[in-house]
Amino acid sequence: MAASLDTGSTDGQEQVLANPLGGIRSNYPGPHAEISRDRNLAWWRRILPIIASHRLTFVTSIVLSFVSLVFQTLVPNMLNGAIDNALIRHSGALNSDVVHILIVGVIAGVTGIISRQYVYYTAYNVEADLRSLIYEHLTWLSFSFYDRVQSGQLISRANSDIRSVQMYSTFAPLIIVQCSIGVLAFGFMLHINAPLACIAMTIMPILYFVGIRMRRVLFPISWITQARLADVATIVDENINGVRVVKSFAQEEAEVNRLADAAERVAWAYIKDAQIRGLWSPWVQNLPQVGLALVLFFGGWMVLDGHLGIGAILSFNIYLLMLQAPFMMLGQLVMMGQRAKASAERIFEVLDESPDIVERPGAFDLVDVKGAIDFNHVRFEYANGAEILTDFDAHIEPGETVAIVGRTGSGKSTVARLVTRFYDVAGGSVCIDGNDVRDVTLPSLRANVGVVLDEPFLFSISIRDNIAYGQPDAPINDVEAAAKAANAHEFIVRLPQGYDTVVGERGYTLSGGQRQRIAIARTLLVNPPILILDDATSAIDVHVEAGIYEALGQLLRQRTTIVIAHRISTIALASRVILLDGGRVVASGTHEHLLATTPLYAEVLAQTTSGDE
């Protein structure tokens, strides 16, 4: 790569084209399964394929849980027999019954422990798959999606919402199995005394209707809670990323108040949720106590009348106590279910989004790029309806360096975004070497078109890793060569750890000019045949800028370059200038020619402000 930077060799380009992802080889196998794309299915059925992909561990946990419950329900019946045989009739040895009960208890405990291990293993793998799935989908969504969605909302859905869905999706079947202890217990109760068993279960219809009502009132507040938690995450995210703006305008107190208001709205939702639970949960949890009272009343009468043994009524009471746990879990299951449903619908809002920018059937790789760029009567408008380009028509020769100049809002940066196909044109076409960019694969397109933005983003990793982001395996010599070409090597070696210095979030431990130079080096290392500099030196000192351009001068002659700038020193890099106004080309020529013939060009250069389109 160093050789290609210094001599103009195309080895670096060939390396990129051999791997359209710019040399990145991912070892990530991806989630085990996708959600169902049928939006008419219930939310849990859409999640089911992911759980099914872990069917071995999941089914094992369910089976072992059921085995544990079966052995648990055997104990009261064994106790009934032991009391009747050893203590009432004196027809058996009590010690052998105790040993049998201990063995059954140990088996129930061991299978329960193993079941828990498997269910936790399944739960966290399902969560990992959901998180990977939503993140993978986010990487495929188009820029238009991020133009209208707040990052805090996405963070919330990728964290707390996924956790709610994971907990319910994996633990609900386990809770349902545990609730089946009621069926087994009822079977043993029928075996002991059918009339008393029916009396004990008279409260079941009431519990059913209470559960239905509880589910209906909990869902709306569960949705509100999750949405308001996302609002808090959005405010925190904006304040962390925009802390310099907040402090610059002394708006700390205002932002604290804004967060406090959002937190109060979350608190209201939680309180409302607690009130609903406080109203309905006691019904679910305490109605079984009514059944216990009925058993004690009628069972005691039967014992006194000689129709029921002491061991039987003791077993009945144990079974009813065993039924309390499933009833309590049933209430918890309803609450978890409504929160999971609300969270799942919020997650599906993201996963059901389709990217605007997709590859056409039969898309081919862009190879052997010479660098000719054609804008054929391009028309473009953003999602808000603002028309930026109306009839942009221009041709750039291979190896030519062209500067695009215009007023703020004239569409200069939009041109760069259309070449890389971050957005699609509304009319006309953008072609590279005669190939419409909509007909080529996205990785190969973006591997051949390098963009340096005016607000470069650096990751919280070392400077070396930031420069080598597009070519992670690049040797340090190539990294240094790219840094020297961007006039960044000198300040990097003066840092405490040199190229191994880890930059702060977004690179804010560096100056704006230093960040821009690292961003330039990052793009040069990939060595694309087409380079777009979108006001890439706006934060760099004029003297440093001169050094960068001196180093770039040789490199730019080896590739097609579009320079979007306002400084005359930047425009001087170009052999031709395109003047943009009203979304179309109004003049084209050398800098000197436009100064002499086009008054608007002089007006634009006289402006001291700049902006993004």
Provide the pLDDT for residue 262: 83
Provide the pLDDT for residue 74: 79
Residues 212 and 261 both lie in one domain: yes
Provide the pLDDT for residue 546: 62
Residue 539 or residue 163, greater confidence: 163
- In a domain, residue 365? The reply is no
- In a domain, residue 368? The reply is no
Q: Is the pLDDT of residue 195 over 90?
A: no
Residue 548 or residue 356, greater confidence: 356
**Tokens 């942009």, residue?**
392
Determine the average pLDDT of the residues in 344-369. Answer: 87
Query: Could you read off the pLDDT of 199-242 as tens digits, one per residue?
Result: 777 777 777 677 677 767 777 787 788 778 777 777 776 666 66
Query: Could you read off the pLDDT of 127-151 as tens digits, one per residue?
Result: 888 888 888 888 888 878 877 777 7
**Tokens 């040895």, residue?**
93
Of 289, 319, 351, the last residue of a domain is 351
Q: Is the pLDDT of residue 539 over 70?
A: no
Residues 303 and 200 both lie in one domain: yes
Contact assessment for residue 240 and residue 259, using Cβ atoms and an 8 Å cutoff: no
Provide the pLDDT for residue 345: 85
Query: Could you read off the pLDDT of 260-274 as tens digits, one per residue?
Result: 888 888 888 888 888
Query: Could you read off the pLDDT of 287-315 as tens digits, one per residue?
Result: 767 777 777 777 777 777 767 766 777 77
- In a domain, residue 359? The reply is no
373 CB-near residues (< 8 Å, 6+ apart): 395, 396, 419, 430, 431, 432, 530, 560, 562
Residues 140 and 268 both lie in one domain: yes
Determine the average pLDDT of the residues in 485-506. Answer: 85
- Which backbone phi and psi does 174 adopt, to 5 degrees? -65, -40
Among 26-30, 36-40, 248-252, 467-471, which is the least confidently predicted range?
Answer: 26-30
| Region class of 362: left (phi > 0), else alpha (psi between -120 and 50), else beta | left
At 435, the pLDDT band (50, 70, 90 cuts) reads very high
What average pLDDT is seen over the chain? 78
What domain range includes position 268?
43-351
- In a domain, residue 25? The reply is no
Of 292, 318, 351, the last residue of a domain is 351
CATH of the domain at 286: 1.20.1560.10
Residues 327 and 412 both lie in one domain: no
404, 380, 376, 519: which is closest to 452 by C-alpha? 519
- In a domain, residue 50? The reply is yes
582 CB-near residues (< 8 Å, 6+ apart): 390, 410
- In a domain, residue 431? The reply is yes
Provide the pLDDT for residue 343: 83
| Position 488, amino acid | A
Provide the pLDDT for residue 108: 87
CATH of the domain at 493: 3.40.50.300
Of 297, 321, 351, the last residue of a domain is 351
CA atoms of 77 and 95, how far apart (whole Å): 16
Residues 316 and 402 both lie in one domain: no
Residues 330 and 414 both lie in one domain: no
Query: Could you read off the pLDDT of 403-413 as tens digits, one per residue?
Result: 898 887 788 88
As a dihedral over the C-alpha atoms of residue 557, residue 563, residue 567, residue 568, rounded to 10 degrees, the angle is: 40
Among 38-52, 85-99, 358-372, which is the least confidently predicted range?
Answer: 85-99
Residues 499 and 378 both lie in one domain: yes
Residues 338 and 378 both lie in one domain: no
Residues 343 and 380 both lie in one domain: no
Tokens of 509: 């431990």
Provide the pLDDT for residue 86: 55
Residues 168 and 51 both lie in one domain: yes
Query: Could you read off the pLDDT of 66-105 as tens digits, one per residue?
Result: 888 888 877 777 776 666 665 555 555 556 667 878 888 8
Q: Is the pLDDT of residue 504 over 80?
A: no
Pairing of strands 530-534, 560-564: parallel
What domain count does the chain have? 2
Contact assessment for residue 350 and residue 148, using Cβ atoms and an 8 Å cutoff: no
Alpha helices per DSSP H over 193-309? 194-200, 204-241, 243-248, 252-305
At 437, the pLDDT band (50, 70, 90 cuts) reads very high
Residue 505 or residue 581, greater confidence: 581
**Tokens 């059944």, residue?**
291
Contact assessment for residue 47 and residue 344, using Cβ atoms and an 8 Å cutoff: yes
- In a domain, residue 20? The reply is no
At 396, the pLDDT band (50, 70, 90 cuts) reads very high
Query: Could you read off the pLDDT of 316-345 as tens digits, one per residue?
Result: 777 776 766 666 666 667 777 877 888 888
At 431, the pLDDT band (50, 70, 90 cuts) reads very high
Contact assessment for residue 428 and residue 377, using Cβ atoms and an 8 Å cutoff: yes
CA atoms of 164 and 126, how far apart (whole Å): 12
Provide the pLDDT for residue 17: 33
| Region class of 530: left (phi > 0), else alpha (psi between -120 and 50), else beta | beta
Provide the pLDDT for residue 9: 37
- In a domain, residue 530? The reply is yes
Residue 611 or residue 554, greater confidence: 554
| Position 487, amino acid | N
CA atoms of 514 and 507, how far apart (whole Å): 9
Pairing of strands 584-589, 435-436: unpaired
Provide the pLDDT for residue 393: 92
Contact assessment for residue 230 and residue 349, using Cβ atoms and an 8 Å cutoff: no
Residues 330 and 391 both lie in one domain: no
**Tokens 């949705």, residue?**
223
Residue 444 or residue 313, greater confidence: 444
Share of the chain above pLDDT 70, in %: 80
Residues 345 and 389 both lie in one domain: no
Provide the pLDDT for residue 247: 60
Provide the pLDDT for residue 114: 92
- Full-model pTM: 0.66
